[in-house]
Amino acid sequence: MRLTTKGRYGVRAVLNLATQNGSRPISISQISKEEQLSPEFLEQIFFKLKKAGVIRSVRGPKGGFVLNWKPSEVTIKAILDAVGESIQPTPCTNGTGSPCPREEECVLAPVWNEFHELIAKHLDGISLQDIIENAKQAETLGLRA
């Protein structure tokens, strides 16, 4: 399993919003500069994040985007789901309703399904707040420059 650019950029951009503490809306161009991401691609990602309710837009001259939830309520899995990122390790675990032709005799299906459940549970247990706190702690301990 490998995350696509869409998933990685989505997490980075939403984490950027979370570090702003909701103090003011942040523009796509500012996030793009700070995170070194394509603004056009970021617009597509933000459209999906907004549609899923993870972020909301604020109109006006000082407008931009803010988190719609507290950082402690936004998980990595929620962001990945919102941008349409698949965390399925195999086609047979994708839940699309297209069963594998070998489903009946496949002894590996339970392994792949358990693997998928572990990944989903792990990513659903990591909030933006957790990441922010871990980064602050690492900085305090001198583990980051």
Q: Which domains does the chain have, with CATH numbers?
A: 5-140 (1.10.10.10)
The H or E element that residue 56 is part of is: strand 55-58
What pLDDT does 96 receive?
59
Q: What percent helix, strand, coil does the chain show, rounded to 5? A: 55, 10, 40
Element (H, E) at 2: none
Cα gap 69→55, rounded to integer Å: 8
Question: pLDDT tens string for the chain (145 positions)?
Answer: 788 999 999 999 999 999 986 678 999 999 999 999 999 999 999 999 999 999 999 998 888 999 999 999 999 999 999 999 988 887 776 665 566 777 778 888 888 889 989 999 999 999 999 999 998 888 777 765 5
SS3 23: coil
Q: What is the dihedral of CA 132, 135, 140, 145, to 10 degrees?
A: -130
* Entry pTM: 0.87
State the residue for tokens 């399904």.
113
Kind and range of the H or E element at 19?
helix 5-19
For 39, the 3-state DSSP assignment is helix
For position 45, what pLDDT does the model report? 96
Contact 56, 68 (CB under 8 A): yes
Angle between helices 5-19 and 128-140 (to 10 degrees): 70
Q: Of 28, 18, 30, 34, which is closest to residue 68 (Cα–Cα)?
A: 18
